[in-house]
Chains A and B, each alone.
Chain A
Amino acid sequence: MEAHLEKRFQDKIDQEIKIEPKDWMPEKYRKTLVRQISQHAHSEIVGMLPEGNWITRAPSLKRKLGLLAKVQDEAGHGLYLYAAAETLGVERADLVADLHSGKAKYSSIFNYPTMTWADIGAIGWLVDGAAIMNQVPLCRCSYGPYARAMVRVCKEESFHQRQGFEIMMTLCNGTTEQKEMAQDALNRWWWPSLMMFGPNDDESPNSKQSMAWKIKRFSNDDLRQKFVDVTVEQAKHLGINIPDPDLNWNEETQHYDFGEIDWEEFWNVVKGNGPCNKARLDARNKAHDEGAWVREAAVAYAEKKRKRKEKVA
């Protein structure tokens, strides 16, 4: 029976028919999706913090409104990604509890600090740029609710990326100090951005199954290469330098060769030792704990209101 169901399931996937919440699915498929979608949602929520750090200090009305709206978009993405995860039979409150306890992971890129205004430009340009590379293929993910959520997320992300690039452009066309600020931000965010695509393909054991299930469409290394190829040209346009002495155009492959990623740093940050891991989790826990009385009051009031209604009826 199980084998028969599994075959039907895989046939559907091979025919590009979306899997919907009530359809039969292998337990491992469900678990993989819960993990991936909730990690994605957590990343959106934790990702609000490094950028939110500059909302009160944004340098003009236009930038302040743009940044505030952007960070709000991320909250919105978190919200509908949690909703997509809930279609798989989990509760948002449990997923959030796993984030707060440190059990669940989120994108390590948000464990780096935003020190200057240029970091806001660099995050938009590089981090959202890398996110788009990862996420556009997810619009065709085999699981319907996730794929549909990603269509909306990607539209907004590409707007964010343009906004980030425009901040960088303005800085690069500005004073010497501003251009230095932009270069410094690129120096700090370049390598962590490359790490966003995950370990090299031969170190990524779950990828093969995810590809067969069409949760994933391209390998980590392929996506990373695509990102490098696109971004190097954009950096040239900005007139700032990618901090990689091994970066070279390869005529043969028609791609850029680039230097070795510091995987020790990558795993170190994943394990919790990045510069801001503790600060990010503390901030999330603080907001949650300090909001407890508000959530309790809302529940208590709704309950009172319901009882009053019953009495009248």
Chain B
Amino acid sequence: MELKIKYLLQIADNAMIIGHRLSEWCGHGPILEQDIAMTNIALDHLGLARNLYQYCARLEGGGKTEDDYPYKRDVRKWRNLLLCEQDNGDFGKTITRQFLYDTFNLQFLTALQDSHDEHLAAIAAKSLKETTYHLQYSGDWMIRLGDGTEESHDRIQKSVNDLWMYADESFLESEADRWALNEKIGVDLNALKLPTQNNRTEILKEATLQIPESGWTQQGGKEGKHSEQLGYILSDLQFLQRAYPNSVW
């Protein structure tokens, strides 16, 4: 059970944290239409996180609620990828982060639909539809910014270079990943690597962007080893629950 919860939290925490990051844009987007679109995507991610946290609470029982997971765990208990917690930066950095995540997530959810856990498979199928749109959005913007003006090209190339070290953490197997694969609940991450990378290459090429040489991959998120950024996210996210414990909101 413990490993199953860990596995579900890996997926839920990715959605929660990347959704939270996107929600920071609400009201501050470069143009109204993009403000609305980014908020839509944030809502999708947060909705997925909520479904999964509810599932965790149901499995664990003992009075746990969906809010216990996002609002009452400290940094070391979070299992999201480091990519998801990276700050928004400018619009281009946000788009790059989303693009790297979406390309992975599309393959991941496609495979997760075949999970022998029917509930998880159903959640994956629902989210996959949304993720197809997310990738269309982030991919289109990669191309627009890469092949737009000189300034946009330089900015987005810098973001690609800066975030590249977080791009492949998703393929590194944690103990929970290995367990879930073995139990036919999870996904073979190795099998996702090639299609994800091909998808990225294709879009980056169309965007006239250089693909950075693959170097060191930052890792640790799935095991609770995070960047310094996650603590600040949690200090916002958990403020009220911490300041007024045991209250109903």
| Interface positions of A (Cβ within 8 A of B) | 45, 48-49, 52, 55-61, 63-65, 68-69, 71-72, 75-76, 78-79, 82, 117, 170, 173-175, 177-178, 283, 286-288, 290-298, 300-301, 304
Q: Is B244 engaged at the interface, CB distance under 8 Å to the other chain?
A: yes
Please pick, from B36, B47, B151, the residue contacting A293 in the complex, using a CB distance under 8 A: B151
Q: Is B87 engaged at the interface, CB distance under 8 Å to the other chain?
A: no
**B35 and A75 contacting across the interface, CB-CB below 8 Å:** yes
A293-B155, A294-B91, A298-B144 given; A57·B30 CB < 8 A: no
**B27 and A61 contacting across the interface, CB-CB below 8 Å:** no
**B31 and A294 contacting across the interface, CB-CB below 8 Å:** yes
Which B residues are CB-close (under 8 A) to A286?
28
Nearest chain B residue, comparing its CB with the CB of A74: B27
Can you spell out 28 A-B residue pairs with CB atoms less than 8 angstroms apart?
Answer: A55-B23, A56-B24, A59-B240, A60-B71, A63-B249, A64-B23, A65-B43, A65-B46, A68-B43, A72-B26, A72-B36, A72-B39, A75-B26, A75-B27, A75-B36, A78-B32, A82-B32, A174-B249, A287-B27, A291-B30, A293-B151, A294-B92, A294-B152, A295-B31, A296-B148, A296-B149, A296-B151, A298-B148
**A61 and B53 contacting across the interface, CB-CB below 8 Å:** yes
- Contacting A at CB under 8 A, from B70-94, are 70-71, 90-92
| Interface positions of B (Cβ within 8 A of A) | 20, 23-24, 26-36, 39-40, 42-43, 46-47, 49-50, 53, 66-67, 70-71, 90-92, 143-145, 147-149, 151-152, 155, 233, 236-237, 239-241, 244, 247-249
Q: How far is the CA of A161 from the CA of B198 in the complex (A)?
A: 48
Q: How far is the CA of A292 from the CA of B66 in the complex (A)?
A: 40
Q: How far is the CA of A151 from the CA of B20 in the complex (A)?
A: 32
Q: How far is the CA of A157 from the CA of B46 in the complex (A)?
A: 23
A56-B23, A57-B239, A297-B149 given; A287·B29 CB < 8 A: yes
Which A residues are CB-close (under 8 A) to B23?
55-56, 64, 68
Q: How many A-B residue pairs have CB under 8 A?
A: 136
Please pick, from B42, B50, B67, B249, the residue contacting A117 in the complex, using a CB distance under 8 A: B249
Please pick, from B26, B149, B151, B241, the residue contacting A48 in the complex, using a CB distance under 8 A: B26
**A291 and B47 contacting across the interface, CB-CB below 8 Å:** no
The B interface is mostly helix, strand or loop, or mixed, namely helix
- The 8 A-B residue pairs with the shortest CB-CB distance in the complex, in nearest-first order: A291-B30, A297-B148, A297-B152, A52-B27, A59-B240, A59-B249, A48-B27, A294-B30
Q: How far is the CA of A283 from the CA of B34 in the complex (A)?
A: 16
Closest-CB distance, B249 to chain A (whole angstroms): 4
Nearest chain A residue, comparing its CB with the CB of B240: A59
Q: How far is the CA of A218 from the CA of B85 in the complex (A)?
A: 51
Please pick, from A68, A296, A300, the residue contacting B46 in the complex, using a CB distance under 8 A: A68
Closest-CB distance, B156 to chain A (whole angstroms): 9
Closest-CB distance, A298 to chain B (whole angstroms): 6
**A175 and B244 contacting across the interface, CB-CB below 8 Å:** yes
The A interface is mostly helix, strand or loop, or mixed, namely helix
**A72 and B149 contacting across the interface, CB-CB below 8 Å:** no
Closest-CB distance, B245 to chain A (whole angstroms): 10
Q: How far is the CA of A69 from the CA of B44 in the complex (A)?
A: 11
Q: How far is the CA of A76 from the CA of B36 in the complex (A)?
A: 7
**A55 and B26 contacting across the interface, CB-CB below 8 Å:** yes
Closest-CB distance, B54 to chain A (whole angstroms): 9
Nearest chain A residue, comparing its CB with the CB of B47: A65
